[in-house]
Amino acid sequence: AQTVRRIGRLVMRRVCVPELDQRFLEMAETFNKQQEGYEAMVQHIRNLQQSCDCSHDDTLAFVQCLGKIREEQTYQVSLKMKGYDFFLSAVPVWSEGAGEGKPLPPRLQRAQNELKGASDSTRMTISKGTTLQELIGWLLRSHDKMAEQVKKTAETYQEQGRLSENLEENMREVRRAKELSQGYRQQATAVLT
């Protein structure tokens, strides 16, 4: 039998045990939200890197971008952190009143927006990861018990085989989600450091 390695969203199969179907659904929804957050974080950082003409050699680092932004602006630009939030602070360097009320240059405004988006999606990636690890841990620990529940639910031998295969497919997806989720969380944490 050929093994197909799946990427992307999780879709769980029904095992016809309502509480188990609900747990698998919760886990899939949480993973899919974490994955959306991770993909958004990566896209915001890539957008920032591209708008600043920074080489991004497949990393999510944006320190080089901040250096370029500082060089180009008549603003004192710095990255500020507050808990899990980070943002780009821009303070004019000209004298009092000279540029008051003047909007930020478009490139600086874009950089602020991309960093705000990266911050929001980084926070979501990390927070969903915590919930997800708890759900995944429970599902992995409960595998044997779930298999028994699925067997008891099936009315025929054929249905038992189908539902057991659905459970095994769900468990493969749980293990895949665990691996991906840990990677997403590590990269999101690295963005914060």
Q: How many CB atoms lie within 10 A of CB 125?
A: 26
Q: What integer best gives the mean pLDDT of the chain? A: 89
pTM: 0.87
Q: How many CB atoms lie within 10 A of CB 63?
A: 8
**Predicted confidence band of residue 81 (pLDDT cuts 50, 70, 90):** very high
Please check the confidence at residue 4 and state whether its pLDDT lies above 80. no
Strand partners, 75: 92
pLDDT at 5: 46
Residues 140-169 have pLDDT tens digits of 999 999 999 999 999 999 999 999 999 999
Q: What is the mean pLDDT of residues 5-24?
A: 89
Q: Which residue has the higher pLDDT, 113 or 3?
A: 113
Q: Which residue has the tokens 């595998």?
A: 143
